[in-house]
Amino acid sequence: MSNPSLEKLIWVLIYAGLFVLGLGVWYVEHSLAVGSTLMTAGAVGVGAGAVLIWIRSRRP
């Protein structure tokens, strides 16, 4: 994977993860199970983006 495409993937993961995390925070008032699942999925997306930033910093 080239560096420019990796950078696009990083930002898509981070912004999509933050969006899903926000949806989970909003939805937890209606259904605790669905809201918690959305928050977990969003946090995983943001975490994956952060790990990819670290990996990108180690590439030439």
Report the amino acid identity of residue 5. S
Provide the pLDDT for residue 60.
84
- How far separated are the first and last CA of the chain, in Å rounded? 13
SS (H, E, C) the chain: CCHHHHHHHHHHHHHHHHHHHHHHHHHCCCCHHHHHHHHHHHHHHHHHHHHHHHHHHHCC
* pTM higher than the cut 0.85: yes
Arithmetic mean of pLDDT, 43-53: 97
Specify the pLDDT at position 56.
94
| pLDDT score, position 1 | 84
Q: What are the residue boundaries of the structural domains of the chain, listed by start?
A: 3-58
pLDDT tens-digit series, residues 1-38: 888 899 999 999 999 999 999 999 999 999 999 999 99
pLDDT of residue 45: 97
Find out whether 59 and 24 touch, Cβ atoms under 8 Å: no
